[in-house]
């Protein structure tokens, strides 16, 4: 799936390197410390000045949106990676990847409800990546026919947004959600 998600990525090579370093540093910082990590820490991790960070990302939301866009592109590529599996296995594997994305990126669980054009484009891309997998599973009788991709993404987001005692409990609850999506 070729994505056309809006990005602020600069054209000049040196500016692109700084931009990419900031996005990678922010992704790691968000994973380590949450969405409210200091922007100074992000700049320090990227090896650039805070002025460079603000030149690329005037607001925290701009930075979060760019990291989110990058993550959504990877999630959409994952739909292509599983497309050759059996219908249910492909759909379940993609949902596992979606759950991993939500579970490790709590800063982005709110993004599914934001209204900026960038976040909305990402939301559309996720739906467009998952929809063919769901439809194929439904056509094979492996997934509930009344489920929509929006229903599924909200269900899995909700399952992933809570804190679990341990990984075994998280996987068990995720399994319950998948069982509820199985065709009869």
Please return the burial class of 28, using the count of CB atoms within 10 Å of its CB with bins 0-12, 13-18 and 19+.
middle
Note the maximum CA span of the chain: 57
Place 2 in a pLDDT band, splitting at 50, 70 and 90: very low
Q: At what angle do helices 13-33 and 39-46 cross, to 10 degrees?
A: 130
What contacts 138, CB < 8 A, 6 or more positions away? Answer: 144, 145, 147, 183
Instruction: State percent of the chain over pLDDT 70.
Output: 88
| pTM for the predicted model, two decimal places | 0.76
What's the CA gap between 28 and 31, in Å, rounded?
Answer: 5
Torsion of CA 91, 160, 68, 115, to 10 degrees: 100
Q: Which two tokens stand for residue 76?
A: 């959409």
pLDDT for the residue 107: 56
Higher pLDDT pick, 62 / 153: 153
Residue 17: the pLDDT is 93
Specify the higher pLDDT residue, 13 or 4. 13
Mean pLDDT for 20-37 is 86
Count of all residues that appear for the chain in the document: 184
Give the separation between CA 8 and CA 133, rounded to whole angstroms.
30
Q: Which two tokens stand for residue 12?
A: 């000049």
Give the percent of the chain with pLDDT over 90: 54
- Residue 48: pLDDT band (50, 70, 90) is very high
Per-residue pLDDT of 51-109, as tens digits, reads: 999 999 998 888 888 888 888 888 999 999 999 999 999 999 999 999 888 765 665 55
Q: In sequence order, which residues have a C-beta less than 8 Å from that of residue 158 and are 6 or more positions away? A: none
* Residue 184 pLDDT: 75
Q: Is the dihedral of CA 33, 39, 44, 47 positive or negative?
A: positive
pLDDT computed for residue 113 by the predictor: 54
Displacement of CA 168 from its chain's centroid (Å): 22
From residue 57, how far is each of 9, 40, 65, 99, 141 by CA, in Å? 10, 12, 10, 27, 46
Give the pLDDT score at 37.
87
Where do the H-state alpha helices sit in the chain? 13-33, 39-46, 50-56, 60-82, 87-104, 106-109, 117-139, 149-160, 167-181
Query: What per-residue confidence (pLDDT) applies to 50?
Result: 97
């Amino acid at each position: 799936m070729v994505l056309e998600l809006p990005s602020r990525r600069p054209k000049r090579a040196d500016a692109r390197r700084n931009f990419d370093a900031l996005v990678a540093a922010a992704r790691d910082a968000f994973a380590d410390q949450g969405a409210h990590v200091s922007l100074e820490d992000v700049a320090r991790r990227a090896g650039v000045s805070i002025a460079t960070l603000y030149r690329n990302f005037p607001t925290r939301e701009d930075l979060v949106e760019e990291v989110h866009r990058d993550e959504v592109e990877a999630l959409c590529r994952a739909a292509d990676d599983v497309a050759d599996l059996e219908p249910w296995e492909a759909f379940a594997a993609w949902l596992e990847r979606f759950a991993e994305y939500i579970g490790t990126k709590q800063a982005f669980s709110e993004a599914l409800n934001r209204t900026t054009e960038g976040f909305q484009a990402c939301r559309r891309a996720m739906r467009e990546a998952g929809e063919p997998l769901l439809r194929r599973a439904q056509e094979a009788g492996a997934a509930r026919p009344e489920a929509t991709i929006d229903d599924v993404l909200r269900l899995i987001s909700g399952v992933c947004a809570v804190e679990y005692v341990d990984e075994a409990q998280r996987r068990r609850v995720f399994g319950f959600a998948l069982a509820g999506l199985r065709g009869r």
